[in-house]
Structure 1
Amino acid sequence: MAAIKRWDIRAVLSTAGIAPASVHRACPAITPEMAAAVLRQLWAMTNDMFLGLGPHPVSRDTVRVLAFAISSAPTLGSALTRLEQFAPLFAGLPAPVVCSAGGRTTLSLRLDEFDDTLSLVADSILMVAHRVINWATRRQVDLERVDVTYQRPRGETDHDLIFGAPTYFGMQCNALTFPTNVLTAPVVRRQEEIEQFLTDIPSTLLSEFEFNASHALRVRTMIERCLGHHVCSADEIATAMGISRQTLRRRLQEENTSVSAIRDDVLHKAARDSLAQGGETVSALAGRLGFSEPSAFTRAFRRWTGESPSAFLRRHVAIA
C-alpha cells in the first residue's frame, strides 16, 4: 500500500522509532505503541483518517462531530440508528446499514467507493467498528460471523484472531453479525471519556479494552444520562443491563452500594455543581433533578449537606 500511495515509508518508520530493515524480519519487534506512531504519521501526511483509500478525505474533526452526534443515544441500537442517519451527511464515510431478523443483527458497511482491492481496508474498518461497539458499551460483543467482499487470500489468515468469529469471503457486502439482544446494551461512556478516546486514537484502537466495569459505575452512568429528562427507575436500569431487579440489587450489595445510594450521590453532586455555578434557580434545579417540588429538594439537600440550598449559596458567595 505504501508503494501504491508513494509514501516515504522509511521516514514514517524512522519517526515512529522503527528501523526500516526490521520490518523484513520474520517476526519484527513492532509494539502497539510503534504501530500507533506509524498511523499518526500517516494521518499527518494524508490529513485523512482513511489514508487516502476512500472517496474523500475524512478529518479527525469530522469523526469527532459524528461521535458526539451519536454519543447521547441511550442504547447501542439507538446509537446505530443515529449512525445510519448522520453518516451520509459526511462525505467520505462508509455508508452503514443495520438490519435485524431472526434474532440476529447485521451491521453492513458499504465500501463501494473505497479501494476495496486491498483486503486491509475492509478488515481495518470492520475491526474498528467492532472495537468501538465494545468500547461504547463497555462489554465484549461476541460476533456470530463476519462477511467481506474480497476473495479468500492464499494460505492461512488471522481473521479468527481479529474477530473471534467465522469469516466468509466473496460476499456481497462487508458486515458484522451479532445477536439482536445486544442492541439493548446501554451506551455507558461519558462525554469526557469520548473526548479522551478520540484524543488517544489510534492507541485506544490497538490496545486491549477493560470491559469489567463495576455495576455501580454502569448504574451511575445511566442515572447521569437521565438527569433532566426523567427519573431512571431501578427496573429500567436492570432491564437496560439485561438482568432482573433482584440480581441488580444483589450485585450492587456485593459492591457495598445500592441504586438509591448511587442516585443520591449523583443528585447531590449535580445540585452542588449547579448551585456553585449559578444561573439556575432552586425551583428549576429541583425540577431538573426530578423532585416534585422545591421543598422536597430542599429537604434532600439538607440531608446531603447539613444545610439548605440558600445557606450553601450564601457560604459559596462569601468564599468566592
Structure 2
Amino acid sequence: MIASLPGARITLRSLELLIVGLIRATGDELWLICSRPVKPGSFRFLCNALVHCDSLRDAIREAGRFLSLVMDDLRLSLHVEGDAACLALNDLSGPSSQKPQLHGTILLFAYGILCWLSQKSIPLKGLHYSFEQNFFSGELAKVYRSPIKYNEARSELVFPRDILQWSVVPDVADARKFLSAVPGILLIRYLDEITISDRVRNILKRNVKYHLSLETVAAMLATSPQTLRRRLKDDGVSGFQQLKDDVRRDFAFEALAKSNLSLEEIAASLGFAEASAFHRAFRRWSDLTPGHYRFEHGATGVHH
C-alpha cells in the first residue's frame, strides 16, 4: 500500500522479490503485461543463446528473432542513422493501459542484457518512449543517465553505432552466474567494474583454440594495442602472453582433471598442431607431463 503512494520507495531487494513472486504466481516471465504469457525459462534460453553471438549487432538480431517467437505484442528492430544506432520496439498491440509497463520493461531488460554481453556500461545518446510522461518518469533518468523524450513515434534506445561492433564477452559459465542474479542485476544500471584483464581473459577463454594476437583482442575491445597493453599493466598483469598462457593452462588442468578427452583431443582444443607441442607447453606450466598430472589429479578410464 505504501508503494502505491506518489513518491513512495521500496528497496531493490523488495522489488526483486515482488517480480519473482509475480512470475511464480502467474506462470509468466512478464507477469501478464503481454497479450499471452511468456513461459518461464524463456529468458534463460535467450541468454544461453546470446553468449554464442560474436558481436552486439548479432546478439540484437538473435534477440529480435527470439522475441517474435515468444511475444505477439512487440517486434524488436535495429536502425542505423548516421553515427547513432536505434534499438526500437515496433508495437503490434492495440491501445492498452499496460503499454508503458511493457515498453519500459523490455527496454530496461534489453539495456541490461547488452551491458552484460559487452561487460561494459553502454553510454546512451537518448531514450524515447511512445507514451506520455508518468509520475515515476523522473526515476528513469537516474537509471539510464540519459535524456528521455516522451510521446515519440516509437519507444527505443539510442546509442553510438560503433557499439554494434563490440564483442560478446561472457561464455556459458558466465551466463549461469548472470541468470542466478536475475532479475536484480537488470534492475540497476550495469556498473563498469570488471577489469580489463578480466575482459581479455573472457575473450581468450571463448577462443582458446585460436592464437589471438594482442592486436586482434584490442580490436575486439574497441581500443588500441598500446592502450590495452598499458591497461593490462595497470591491472598488475605482466603481459598479454602471460594471460594467454594462464587461460590455456587452466583449460588444460580442468580438461585433464575432469574430462575423458584424450591428450591429443585436449591439445587440438588448445590449438596445438601436435601433441608434442602441448607436452612441452604443459611442462613449462606445471613441471609435470599431462599424463602425470591426470594420474595425480583426475579422471580415470580416459584415453591417453
TM-score calculated relative to the size of structure 1: 0.84
Give percent identity, aligned residues only: 24
| Alpha-carbon distance between aligned partners in 1 of 2:288 and 2:39, rounded to the nearest angstrom | 50
- Higher Rg: 1
State the partner residue of 1:108: 88
Letter in 1 for 2:274: E
| Alpha-carbon distance between aligned partners in 2 of 1:318 and 1:185, rounded to the nearest angstrom | 38
Residue 281 (structure 1) aligned with residue 262 (structure 2)? yes
State the partner residue of 1:150: 131
Gapped runs of 5+ residues in structure 2? none
Task: Please tell me whether the aligned partners of residues 143 and 189 of structure 2 are also in contact (alpha carbons under 8 angstroms).
Answer: no
Deviates more, 1:38-47 or 1:211-220: 38-47
* Deviation for aligned residue 1:135: 2.4
Deviates more, 1:141-150 or 1:258-267: 141-150
* Deviation for aligned residue 1:144: 1.1
- 3-state SS of paired residue (2:22): helix
| Alpha-carbon distance between aligned partners in 2 of 1:265 and 1:53, rounded to the nearest angstrom | 47
State the partner residue of 2:45: 65
Letter in 2 for 1:63: F
* Deviation for aligned residue 1:153: 4.9
The 1:40–1:238 alpha-carbon spacing in structure 2 relative to 1, beyond 3 Å, is same
Task: Please tell me whether the aligned partners of residues 6 and 135 of structure 2 are also in contact (alpha carbons under 8 angstroms).
Answer: no
* Deviation for aligned residue 1:243: 1.4
| Alpha-carbon distance between aligned partners in 2 of 1:167 and 1:70, rounded to the nearest angstrom | 28
Task: Please tell me whether the aligned partners of residues 103 and 155 of structure 2 are also in contact (alpha carbons under 8 angstroms).
Answer: yes
The correspondence for 2:66, drawn from 63, 86, 103, is 86
Deviates more, 1:272-281 or 1:47-56: 272-281
| Alpha-carbon distance between aligned partners in 2 of 1:235 and 1:25, rounded to the nearest angstrom | 55
| Alpha-carbon distance between aligned partners in 2 of 1:25 and 1:155, rounded to the nearest angstrom | 11
| Alpha-carbon distance between aligned partners in 2 of 1:134 and 1:164, rounded to the nearest angstrom | 14
| Alpha-carbon distance between aligned partners in 1 of 2:181 and 2:194, rounded to the nearest angstrom | 20
The correspondence for 1:47, drawn from 13, 27, 34, is 27
The 1:166–1:136 alpha-carbon spacing in structure 2 relative to 1, beyond 3 Å, is same
Residue 117 (structure 1) aligned with residue 97 (structure 2)? yes
Task: Please tell me whether the aligned partners of residues 55 and 114 of structure 1 are also in contact (alpha carbons under 8 angstroms).
Answer: no
Deviates more, 1:24-33 or 1:56-65: 24-33
| Alpha-carbon distance between aligned partners in 2 of 1:80 and 1:196, rounded to the nearest angstrom | 21
| Alpha-carbon distance between aligned partners in 2 of 1:93 and 1:227, rounded to the nearest angstrom | 41
State the partner residue of 2:15: 35
- 3-state SS of paired residue (2:204): helix
- 3-state SS of paired residue (1:100): strand
Residue 238 (structure 1) aligned with residue 238 (structure 2)? no
Task: Please tell me whether the aligned partners of residues 220 and 262 of structure 1 are also in contact (alpha carbons under 8 angstroms).
Answer: yes
- 3-state SS of paired residue (1:146): strand
The 1:309–1:121 alpha-carbon spacing in structure 2 relative to 1, beyond 3 Å, is same
State the partner residue of 1:128: 109
The 1:156–1:291 alpha-carbon spacing in structure 2 relative to 1, beyond 3 Å, is closer
The correspondence for 1:291, drawn from 251, 260, 272, is 272
Gapped runs of 5+ residues in structure 1? 1-19
- 3-state SS of paired residue (1:267): helix
| Alpha-carbon distance between aligned partners in 1 of 2:253 and 2:135, rounded to the nearest angstrom | 62
RMSD: 2.5
The correspondence for 2:288, drawn from 307, 310, 314, is 307
Letter in 1 for 2:236: N
- 3-state SS of paired residue (2:158): strand
Q: Give the alignment of 1:257-268 within 5 angstroms.
A: 257=237, 258-268=239-249
| Alpha-carbon distance between aligned partners in 1 of 2:113 and 2:93, rounded to the nearest angstrom | 23
The 1:30–1:157 alpha-carbon spacing in structure 2 relative to 1, beyond 3 Å, is closer
Q: Give the alignment of 1:178-257 within 5 angstroms.
A: 178-228=159-209, 230-257=210-237
| Alpha-carbon distance between aligned partners in 1 of 2:299 and 2:16, rounded to the nearest angstrom | 50
The 1:101–1:117 alpha-carbon spacing in structure 2 relative to 1, beyond 3 Å, is same
TM-score calculated relative to the size of structure 2: 0.88
